[in-house]
Structure 1
Amino acid sequence: MSLKKESRTDVQFHLAALRGDCERLKQLLDTGKVHIDSRDRDGTTPLILSAAMGHTECVRELLAQGADPACCRTTGTSALFFAAQGGFLDIACLLVDCGAAIDAPSTDGGTPLFVACQCGHLPVVEELIRRGANVNSCMKDKATPLFIAAQNGHEEVCLALLAAGAAVDAARADRASPLWIAAQCGHQRVARALLAAGAHADKLRQDGATPLFKAAHKGHGAVVAELLKYKPNLGILPNGQSALHGAAMFGQLACVRLLARRRVAVGSDVVPVTTLRNAAGLTALQAAASAGKRDVVAYLKQLEHS
């Protein structure tokens, strides 16, 4: 997009939009010296600025005077994108009513729904869904609105997306699922909601780690407890470790306590998880000792002799 240099009047016009000075906007438009969709060096229009800052009256005035809601910055981000990001429901409704494309993507694939989910703006999320936003749209890395809501711990947003048909196991390009990212980030309530909606408890990321492994490794005991209700794989995973190994090696004693008394099927036998050996041939106790995790070592030794 080729952008001409801004005039002094253009700069004043943009400043009025940024500051929410509706009277100044009208004055400048009345001079006939500014174009309603004049752009700065980034392609930003006065409508985009007012929408981003939550200036409802300025948005209303600009739209009434013919501002194009489809105009985007060089990044592909529109006025609706910024209204959704800011949680400005009234402005989002005004823009859609005036023809703003509800699923217009930015250059990285993010839509208005995506940023509303990222920021946890539930009323905006619900309104965009009601007006037909695609709940299974994805960014270039394949992350969906559900994925980003799960990553940021927004339980109610996740529930709204799931109710609208979001794919519960739709994975990012690295095969991380919404449940996997919720487990990594320690979002217990989100993990609970995803599991209740049918999320695959053992869905692997490309490195061979499950949600349980990641939660245990990070020390998120509440998430581990949620996952254990769904009988996840406690054995050796494709990454060469068990969830217990992950907790033990990183000194996550609370998670070790949740996992260490459990048993796992190995062939035709059922054995204590503490007897499993990782890809390096170490038990969880040995792995903890190697990593210098003394409290974990003490606990597992005590368990051995109990």
Structure 2
Amino acid sequence: FTLQKETPLANAVFWAARKGNLALLQLLLNSGRVDADCRDSYGTTALMVASYSGHYECVKELIMQGADINYQREVCGVDLLFFINLLLTILVVSLVYPLLFGQDGGTALTVACQYGHSKVVDILLKNGASVHDQLNDGATPLFLAAQEGHVTVIRQLLSSGAKVNQPREDGTAPLWMAAQMGHSEVVKVLLLRGADRDADRHDGSTALFKAAFKGHNSVIEELLKFSPSLGLLKNGSTALHAAVIGGNYKTVLLLLGANADPNLPNKNNELPADLTKSDRILRLLHPKILDADS
């Protein structure tokens, strides 16, 4: 915004709102000498400035001091209230779920990404928000967007330099989390943008292993296009073992069709067939075992 203020006090309010200086903003508003709805000559309010700049504590303070959230200003035909209301949505989220802000290291960008507010993400990124923000557990905005399946936000973050393989502290990468949650379109985008198909968590499981266990077949189909490992993983098992334990017939069929080996034992010397009592799945596995034995 281009700001022109009427008085020094109003000028200070706008400066505090733009910079996120909550202490100064409170001091000015509590003085009773300046209105929470003070506007510049273009009709811009301090609430608009604080919202646009992503300073949510200042937004909260202005609202508590009586600032009008319904005031509109048109710039080049664009209704700014639309963007402000999106930002206020995140403010409400932060009030309802306080752990998202502060205590776990959350920022405006991490919350916007988690809740899929792509227009808010765009505003924040254009105004200097860092795609490398992390929660205390190491989760990045990209990780949170992948967890919730927000494809548009993921594309925005990757285009702004987000690291596609940046894991959480427990080793969980965005691809692994998207696979676990069954977000096949997210998995596709991440793989096309260079995600490591075989990245494993600290427990040794990969995205394919987890998708196989959960029976997320559309995810498995995307992963198989990138030839992930079907062999023994660091956790001492295979994706086929996971699929058999998960009990999804089509998942087992998909992996066998990709040449997963039913004769490969896990670390406990168990074959996939040893881990199920399902006749349908055993009929898939046994012919291949018999063929190999013969």
TM over 0.5, shorter chain:
yes
Letter in 2 for 1:280: N
**What CA deviation, in whole Å up to 9, does each residue of 1:50-83 have, x standing for no partner?**
769xx9834879xxxxxxxxxxxxxxxxx99973
Q: Alignment partner for residue 170 of structure 1, among 166, 171, 186?
A: 166
C-alpha spacing 1:256/1:234, structure 2 compared with 1 (3 Å):
same
Conserved in 1, the CA contact under 8 Å of 2:262 and 2:288? no
Give the distance between the partners of 2:134 and 2:184, measured in 1 at CA.
Answer: 24
Letter in 1 for 2:140: T
CA deviation after TM superposition for structure 1 residue 299, in Å: 2.5
Give the distance between the partners of 2:106 and 2:220, measured in 1 at CA.
Answer: 31
CA deviation after TM superposition for structure 1 residue 106, in Å: 1.7
Give the distance between the partners of 2:62 and 2:278, measured in 1 at CA.
Answer: 54
Conserved in 2, the CA contact under 8 Å of 1:48 and 1:82? no
Conserved in 1, the CA contact under 8 Å of 2:143 and 2:177? yes
Letter in 2 for 1:285: A
Letter in 1 for 2:102: S
2:246 matches 1:250: yes
What's the counterpart of residue 13 of structure 1? none
- Taking only the aligned residue pairs, the percentage that are identical comes to 38
Q: TM-score scaled to structure 2, two decimals?
A: 0.68
**What CA deviation, in whole Å up to 9, does each residue of 1:191-217 have, x standing for no partner?**
000000000000010000011101101
What's the counterpart of residue 75 of structure 2? none
Give the distance between the partners of 2:200 and 2:140, measured in 1 at CA.
Answer: 17
What's the counterpart of residue 42 of structure 2? none
Letter in 1 for 2:202: Q
2:234 matches 1:238: yes
What's the counterpart of residue 73 of structure 1? none
Give the distance between the partners of 2:237 and 2:146, measured in 1 at CA.
Answer: 25
User: Which runs of structure 2 are paired with 1:46-65 in the superposition (5 Å)?
Assistant: 47-48=59-60, 57-58=68-69
2:126 matches 1:130: yes
Give structure 2 stretches of 5+ with no counterpart. Answer: 1-28, 37-55, 73-83, 94-100
Letter in 2 for 1:298: R
Q: Alignment partner for residue 142 of structure 2, among 127, 130, 146?
A: 146
CA deviation after TM superposition for structure 1 residue 136, in Å: 0.9
Give the distance between the partners of 1:193 and 1:56, measured in 2 at CA.
Answer: 41
What's the counterpart of residue 207 of structure 1? 203
Query: SS at the partner of 1:277?
Result: coil
2:200 matches 1:189: no
User: Which runs of structure 2 are paired with 1:2-81 in the superposition (5 Å)?
Assistant: 47-48=59-60, 57-58=68-69
Letter in 2 for 1:83: L
2:273 matches 1:296: no
Measured on the aligned residues, the alpha-carbon RMSD in Å equals 3.5
Give the distance between the partners of 1:284 and 1:294, measured in 2 at CA.
Answer: 13
Give the distance between the partners of 2:166 and 2:265, measured in 1 at CA.
Answer: 32
Query: SS at the partner of 2:230?
Result: coil
Conserved in 2, the CA contact under 8 Å of 1:120 and 1:149? yes
What's the counterpart of residue 26 of structure 1? none
Give the distance between the partners of 1:214 and 1:258, measured in 2 at CA.
Answer: 14
Give structure 1 stretches of 5+ with no counterpart. Answer: 1-28, 37-43, 62-78, 89-104, 264-271
2:263 matches 1:275: yes
Give the distance between the partners of 2:113 and 2:282, measured in 1 at CA.
Answer: 42
Letter in 2 for 1:297: L
Q: Alignment partner for residue 227 of structure 1, among 217, 223, 226?
A: 223
Aligned residue-pair number? 225
C-alpha spacing 1:258/1:113, structure 2 compared with 1 (3 Å):
same
Query: SS at the partner of 1:212?
Result: helix
2:97 matches 1:113: no
Conserved in 2, the CA contact under 8 Å of 1:150 and 1:182? yes
C-alpha spacing 1:171/1:81, structure 2 compared with 1 (3 Å):
farther
Give the distance between the partners of 1:229 and 1:30, measured in 2 at CA.
Answer: 61
**What CA deviation, in whole Å up to 9, does each residue of 1:133-179 have, x standing for no partner?**
10011010000000000000001100000000000000001000000
C-alpha spacing 1:84/1:30, structure 2 compared with 1 (3 Å):
closer
CA deviation after TM superposition for structure 1 residue 108, in Å: 1.3
Give the distance between the partners of 2:206 and 2:30, measured in 1 at CA.
Answer: 62
